Amino acid sequence: MRLFRLIKIFYITFKFGLDEFIFAHNRFSLIRKALQKALFFRNNSQARGVRLRLALEALGPIFVKFGQILSTRRDLIPLDVADELAKLQDQVPAFDYAIVEKVIAETYGEPINKVFSQFDQVPVASASVAQVHFAHLPDGKPVAVKILRPGIASVIQKDIKLLDSVAWLLQTLLSDGDRLRPREVVADFAHHLNNELDLMLEAANCSLLGRNFPNSPMLQVPEVYWDWCREQVMVMERMDGTPISQIDKLRAMGIDIPKLARNGVEIFFTQVFRDGFFHADMHPGNIQVASDGRYIALDFGIMGTLTETDKQYLARNFLAFFKRDYREVALAHVESGWVASDVSVEQFETAIRAVCEPIFNKPLKDISFGRVLIRLFHTARKFGLIIQPQLSMLQKTLLNVEGLGRELDPNLDLWQTAQPVLERWMSEQVGWRSVLKRIKNEAPHWGAILPTLPRKLDAFLTQDISKLSTLDAEVTALKKQNQQQKQMIHVLVALVVGLVIFGAWQLKN
């Protein structure tokens, strides 16, 4: 079975002309020409990115998801290919309701009508890993039920092994295979997919995002009903919203579209810089708008996390970039540890200026944060920067947010919207807010230590006199030894001075 699957992969590869990626180097020119003559009947008039997207769609849902992840690695693949792969849609036919009933019965140990008072047989969404049905809990509460596809884990493992084999071949054949690191990309993809196979992890992601935005006037996150959640089934609050892509319907509802665009940018930057935890799959299919104008977040399988170092690196870069302080951009890379400390800051600054200065020919509102980040990454790679997976996810999500925001409002000024969030975060790191934050974080530790201080002080004051005597004797011995060392140094200095005077006298006579 695996052999037939591998044969199909190679068939699709040659059918859509993807051999141009593999045999692009001059050393394969003879093979390339031979293939062109042997496969003269195929039509390769479409752009390479389009053909790659069509090939992945032909190979099935797991490869579609791989293409989606690959589109985030703009530090490794050409931008025209990344933009095309970003169009991949993870939509597959739903599995039968009879299978749903079987999964529910096996998961809860009871038939579906004992677990839910009502369950819609037709799913509202179906993707490669899971599908979603609307239902009601026994108390009548409306919910959304996400169910893993039966047997999907084994399918994923087989396709991952095949992808890794193909990645090994590419890394061996491609001239810059070591730079592109295809096997590393496949491993990153496998990590994301394995996380999506445990719906308890997704439920935890949803719950944390909800806690970060309690009673938010901008974002609504569904409540998780933990008593009904399992690895294969996730049950959450049913959300009633309009897809973000239906702009005309949103206008008819009286939604302030420019405000909606600004709120989307502010939500994203708040997630990134305040929380270090962000929704990393913010395509239109995962975003709805409530009747009161709040965003509704859906699907929490892919989330990004950032460390304090990551956040400082990004904030310093954005703030310095828009002030055209390229030296600060260079220093931010070095001091954050993203490039080696022995890199010439002056050369790095010059390289950044050459790449970024042309961007300022445009008005600030037309400058893309995502494209700026891509340019910075590409420049920094020449100075030894290795892009971290979390930054790749952030870059892809930022491009999605920008695209969505400007689709809603073409005049959206992302810098004006994001600047207050960035500046407030920076002030919290270095100003008085930073001191208060650290005091607040350390307070629990102080609370544990303070009650024990009297006891520790009493123990110190009443410790054994003999120990103090021993300590006093040791101090006296150290003082004596120190005095002897000083005397020896004086003798040596006197001897050296005497030798110098004697040598001078000898030369004179």
Output phi, psi for 268, to 5 deg. Answer: -65, -50
Rounded Cα–Cα distance for residues 422 and 68 (Å): 29
| Residue 414 predicted with pLDDT over 60 | yes
Among 150-164, 165-179, 387-401, 466-480, the least confident range: 466-480
Question: What amino acid is encoded at 426 in this protein?
Answer: M
Among 204-218, 276-290, 325-339, 483-497, the least confident range: 483-497
| Residue 293 predicted with pLDDT over 90 | yes
Question: Where residue 123 falls among pLDDT bands split at 50, 70, 90?
Answer: very high
Among 267-276, 370-379, 443-452, the least confident range: 443-452
pLDDT value for 491: 47
Which position has the higher pLDDT, 359 or 117? 117
| Residue 214 predicted with pLDDT over 80 | yes
Question: Where residue 320 falls among pLDDT bands split at 50, 70, 90?
Answer: confident
pLDDT value for 224: 97
Question: Where residue 175 falls among pLDDT bands split at 50, 70, 90?
Answer: low
Rounded Cα–Cα distance for residues 14 and 326 (Å): 45
Rounded Cα–Cα distance for residues 17 and 51 (Å): 7
Read off the tokens for 278.
Answer: 């962000």
With beta carbons less than 8 A apart as the criterion, state whether 162 and 7 touch: no
Question: Where residue 387 falls among pLDDT bands split at 50, 70, 90?
Answer: low
Read off the tokens for 162.
Answer: 């095949």
With beta carbons less than 8 A apart as the criterion, state whether 160 and 193 touch: yes
Provide CB contacts within 8 A for 435, sequence distance 6+: none
281 is catalytic: yes
With beta carbons less than 8 A apart as the criterion, state whether 305 and 390 touch: yes
With beta carbons less than 8 A apart as the criterion, state whether 268 and 282 touch: yes
Which range, 152-161, 192-201, 240-249, 383-392, has the best average confidence (pLDDT)?
240-249
Percent of residues, the chain, with pLDDT higher than 70:
73
Output phi, psi for 462, to 5 deg. Answer: -105, 15
Rounded Cα–Cα distance for residues 187 and 182 (Å): 9
| Residue 509 predicted with pLDDT over 80 | no
Rounded Cα–Cα distance for residues 270 and 212 (Å): 10
With beta carbons less than 8 A apart as the criterion, state whether 83 and 112 touch: no
Average model confidence (pLDDT) across the chain = 79
Sign of CA dihedral 241, 223, 284, 371: positive
| Three-state secondary structure string covering 269-303 | HHHHHHHCEEECCCCHHHEEECCCCCEEECCCCCE
Sign of CA dihedral 282, 285, 291, 297: negative
Provide CB contacts within 8 A for 37, sequence distance 6+: none
Which position has the higher pLDDT, 263 or 490? 263
With beta carbons less than 8 A apart as the criterion, state whether 222 and 286 touch: no
Rounded Cα–Cα distance for residues 410 and 299 (Å): 27
Which position has the higher pLDDT, 252 or 161? 252
pLDDT value for 2: 64
Average pLDDT over residues 174-187: 67
Which position has the higher pLDDT, 408 or 8? 408
Rounded Cα–Cα distance for residues 465 and 486 (Å): 31
Rounded Cα–Cα distance for residues 213 and 182 (Å): 37
Nearest alpha carbon to residue 146 among 255, 347, 299? 299
Read off the tokens for 383.
Answer: 């100075």
Report pLDDT digits (tens) over 421-466. Answer: 878 877 776 655 556 666 666 666 666 666 776 776 667 666 555 5
Question: Where residue 498 falls among pLDDT bands split at 50, 70, 90?
Answer: low
Question: Where residue 217 falls among pLDDT bands split at 50, 70, 90?
Answer: very high
With beta carbons less than 8 A apart as the criterion, state whether 116 and 137 touch: yes
Average pLDDT over residues 387-416: 80
Rounded Cα–Cα distance for residues 124 and 474 (Å): 80
Considering the entire predicted model, what is its pTM?
Answer: 0.72
| Residue 261 predicted with pLDDT over 70 | yes
pLDDT value for 403: 82
Q: Regarding beta strands 242-243 and 219-220, do their DSSP bridges make them parallel or antiparallel, or are they unpaired? A: unpaired
Average pLDDT over residues 229-238: 96
Identified catalytic residue from 281, 299, 310, 472: 281
End-to-end CA distance of the chain: 102
Nearest alpha carbon to residue 185 among 62, 71, 61, 81? 71
The position carrying tokens 């650290």 is 438
Q: Give start and end residues of each alpha helix (H) in 271-385.
A: 308-322, 326-335, 345-356, 369-381
| Residue 79 predicted with pLDDT over 90 | no
Report the alpha-carbon angle 47-52-54, nearest 5. Answer: 95
Average pLDDT over residues 290-297: 95
Rounded Cα–Cα distance for residues 408 and 402 (Å): 10
Average pLDDT over residues 115-128: 92
Average pLDDT over residues 158-187: 73
Average pLDDT over residues 407-432: 78
Provide CB contacts within 8 A for 191, sequence distance 6+: none
pLDDT value for 462: 66
Among 55-59, 215-219, 273-277, the least confident range: 55-59
Which position has the higher pLDDT, 76 or 121? 121
Average pLDDT over residues 21-47: 61
Percent of residues, the chain, with pLDDT higher than 90:
27
With beta carbons less than 8 A apart as the criterion, state whether 238 and 134 touch: yes
pLDDT value for 435: 61
